[in-house]
Amino acid sequence: MPRLILFHRLILRPLRREPARTLLTVAAVALGVAVVLAIELAGSAAAGSFRSSMETLAGAADYEVTTAGGIPAGVLTRLALLQEPLKLDPRIEDYAVIADRRRTVPFLGVDLLAHRPPEGPSDSASFSRQDSIWTGADLGYRTGDRVRLLINDHANEYTVRGVLGERSGEAIVMDLAPATRILGRAGRLDRILITGPAPLDLLQRAAGPGITVAAYGSRTAENRRMLAAFRWNLRVLSYIALVVGAFLIYNTISVSVVRRRAEIGIVRALGAPRPAILAAFLGEAAALGLAGGLAGILLGRAMAQGAVGLVAATVGSLYVSSTPAPIELTLATSLLGVALGVAVSVISALAPAWEAAQVPPVEAMSRGRRDHQVRVHSLRDLAFAAVLALAAWIASRQPAIDGKPLYGYLAAVTLIAASALAIPALISGLTIAGAAPLGRLFGAEALLAVRSLAGSMRRTAVLVGALSTAIAMMAAVGIMVGSFRQTVLLWMQDRLQADLYLRPASPAGADRHPTLAPEVADRIEALPEIAAVDRFRAYEITYQGMPATLGAGDARIVARYGARPFLSGANPRSIFAAMPGRDNVIVSEPFANKHHVRAGDTIGIALAGRPVRLNILDVYYDYSNERGYIIMDRSTLLKYLPDPAVSNLAVYLKPAASLESGRAAVERAVAGRKVVVLTNRSLREEAIAIFDRTFSITYALEAVAVFVAIMGVAGALLALVIDRRREFGLLRFLGGATAQLRRVILFEAALLGLLANVAGLILGVLLSLLLIYVINKQSFGWTIQFHWPIAVLLGAITLVYAATVIAAIYPARIAAKLNPIEVVHEE
């Protein structure tokens, strides 16, 4: 009970007395918790509980059979003849776009003869008709509806013959035979689901070498594994706002302690033990954390709704097609949010609360010593900072652990800590050097602002630390993304040499490669305007348990027209010359990094059930997908997978032909088919748009962190005004005008912003080097060339700067409104 009273008097009353500041602190924690929670929820919905869109209608299968390029029908037969009671579910898996809904849904070819749909005509003929489809329950169609579907490069009307049962999702189902015709498949299957008891090795023997038989869900597990790293990075990013929030809690509690030293002294003199004081201030932090955590849950749930689309877009363009699950805010997640808020608050408050507990009872006697100065050993801290920076450098040289750049993140955290320790020295240096000239330049207000910041060094250091950390993160990610973007732009300039690009209208994805009919390419090649057509085909494959993409183009054409920079710097022509007809491949940099292979290595993959050994000629720079590419010549691909359909075409015009006439001719040649014809320029623009979309979640997270920091600045300045109210009153006695008082606060905000920007930019550049050369390289495996995104950086910094100063307007008004007589005479 006495403790509660102590807590009430020492903590709760002051909190209530300054509702604006209390609210700001709670809001900062709430935002931090909300961002973490939102990313957790959105990540879980879009990537964590990953279920490929293709998992619909899979039932309770025990095994799944897959292979690159499709499973020959004979495998199904061999499995069917096994002397085991197995249920086999052969499937062709692709995507269709529902034209009027502009929605991409799984399009499955299944054996409707063996596994009859629950509804629809019962005669054997109608289910195999070309226009018969069965639709998933979630699509909301009724039997007899007509649906226009865009599949690969054609759009047709289909008739809904029946609606599938529960858990059929949004799938559209058709019999194997018409699906094979519509998708232009060569009769191979994408997957066979097996239900029933049978030893795996028996199934593997029956399926034959080069066919993957695995427990059902292995592919989902693979995808989850791939997405785990992505989620991990996203999660780390989401904690930035919380870290910034922690700085602010630290600040809030520090201010409480400093202000109430005399009260603490009195309470101690009256017999309160140290732990009671410690508990009271930790209690304050816990209360703020609890309130912030609770508010954060609601805010996080709301933010997750917005984030899930962004996360899903990133997952879709970088990794794998998936359908976001509904967002589920569980009790466990909610508790996690609250616990996070409380834990971060209490941990941040440990140091100031400890300090409070150390206040000796005699402090009660020394009334009037309001501005208790805590000595800041800025030089000693600077030395610590140097040690930490060295540690960060060493950590940055370490390899990834389990595909995760743990050391990279350690280096980043260490660097942030080093920066926090170096900030007092920076402030001292700048204020000592800057006070007099600033005073001369801007008058008393500037002098007062500089001096007061330097005078309350610890508070200033925390504020600058929080804001500069947020700015640094923003700058680092900005530089990284900007560098990445510039790298991609330059790379596209090298890589995209063709005049026109064609691809089916059905949307492609990292794991989704709709096809064009081969005759499209033939027809275009025959046009008089055309110099060459590069036919590119992509297949989704698995290499060593990780998804990858197998691609094939015409090496001769690439050698003649295109340029593909190689890591080794070797002459592309000689490499491309060695590809046609041979089992020679080149692999993309992410593939090489992920699987630790390099030029000269041999890799084994299975193509249509045949094991093939491929020699890696070289590794090329690639930024188009994170899964990694194996590229072979088209002749090699057709040797193993004689399916002439293409995923896209690169068309080179004759020098004499104009782009307009060439494009018109190509469009005439593909008339009647759903083919997208892009010029070189529009393809690049589209690619960069996808790039920007991919990073929008990153930007959003940065923005929240900066926002939290600015809220912290506002709250801290408010505290500052209240603590220095006597000083402001005095200024009025000394002939200061109200406008001058306001300017002092604005100057302080401006200086805080300046210091934070300087510190933040320095730290940000260092962090961006970590991001570019360590974290990104280790997580995704691509080499990014460093570029300064000057405009973006300047814009962002100006914005942050302006926001910091704007955040000071309210505290400045409070300062101007104080009654000088009251505040000067109150003791």
Q: Name the site residues for other proteins (rule: CB under 8 A).
A: 72-74, 76-77, 80-85, 109, 111, 113-114, 116, 122-125, 128, 175-177, 180-181, 185, 187, 196, 368, 371, 373, 439, 443-444, 447-448, 451-452, 454-456, 726-727, 730-738, 740, 820-821, 824-825, 827
**Please, what is the minimum distance in Å from the beta carbon of residue 233 to other proteins?**
43
Q: b/e per residue, 695-720, with b = 16+ CB within 10 A?
A: bebbbbbbbbbbbbbbbbbbbbbbbb
**Three-state SS for 776?**
helix
**Three-state SS for 7?**
helix
H or E stretch including 156?
Answer: strand 154-163
Nearer to other proteins, 320 or 447 (CB): 447
Q: How many CB atoms lie within 10 A of CB 187?
A: 12
**Please, what is the minimum distance in Å from the beta carbon of residue 24 to other proteins?**
25
**Please, what is the minimum distance in Å from the beta carbon of residue 169 to other proteins?**
24
Nearer to other proteins, 84 or 138 (CB): 84
- Token pair for 630: 């194996």
H or E stretch including 675?
Answer: strand 675-679
**Please, what is the minimum distance in Å from the beta carbon of residue 646 to other proteins?**
20
Backbone angles phi, psi at 663, to 5 degrees: -65, -45
Nearer to other proteins, 664 or 733 (CB): 733
Nearer to other proteins, 328 or 733 (CB): 733
d(CA 13, CA 6): 10
Query: Considering only CA atoms, which of 566, 556, 542, 562 is closest in space to residue 617?
Result: 566
Nearer to other proteins, 599 or 730 (CB): 730
Q: What spatial distance separates the first Cα and last Cα of the chain, rounded to whole Å?
A: 31
Nearer to other proteins, 439 or 507 (CB): 439
- Token pair for 673: 């088919």
Looking at 114-217, list the stretches that DSSP marks H as alpha helix, in order from N- to C-terminal side.
176-183, 200-207
Nearer to other proteins, 255 or 803 (CB): 255
**Please, what is the minimum distance in Å from the beta carbon of residue 116 to other proteins?**
8
Please name the residue that has the structure tokens 């930790």.
282
- Token pair for 809: 């307007």
d(CA 628, CA 614): 15
d(CA 464, CA 757): 9
- Token pair for 245: 């929030």
CA angle 246, 250, 255 (to 5 degrees): 150
Nearer to other proteins, 122 or 791 (CB): 122
Contact status, residue 724 vs residue 455, Cβ threshold 8 Å: no
d(CA 663, CA 499): 9
Nearer to other proteins, 438 or 475 (CB): 438
**Please, what is the minimum distance in Å from the beta carbon of residue 459 to other proteins?**
12
d(CA 331, CA 333): 5
**Please, what is the minimum distance in Å from the beta carbon of residue 717 to other proteins?**
16
Nearer to other proteins, 215 or 733 (CB): 733
- Separation of CA 188 from chain center: 36
Nearer to other proteins, 19 or 122 (CB): 122
**Please, what is the minimum distance in Å from the beta carbon of residue 441 to other proteins?**
12
Nearer to other proteins, 111 or 138 (CB): 111
- What is each CA distance from 317 to 649, 693, 777, in whole angstroms? 20, 9, 19
**Three-state SS for 216?**
coil
**Please, what is the minimum distance in Å from the beta carbon of residue 197 to other proteins?**
8
**Please, what is the minimum distance in Å from the beta carbon of residue 334 to other proteins?**
44
Phi-psi region of 353 (alpha: psi -120 to 50; beta: other; left: phi over 0): alpha
**Please, what is the minimum distance in Å from the beta carbon of residue 368 to other proteins?**
7
H or E stretch including 49?
Answer: none
**Please, what is the minimum distance in Å from the beta carbon of residue 827 to other proteins?**
8
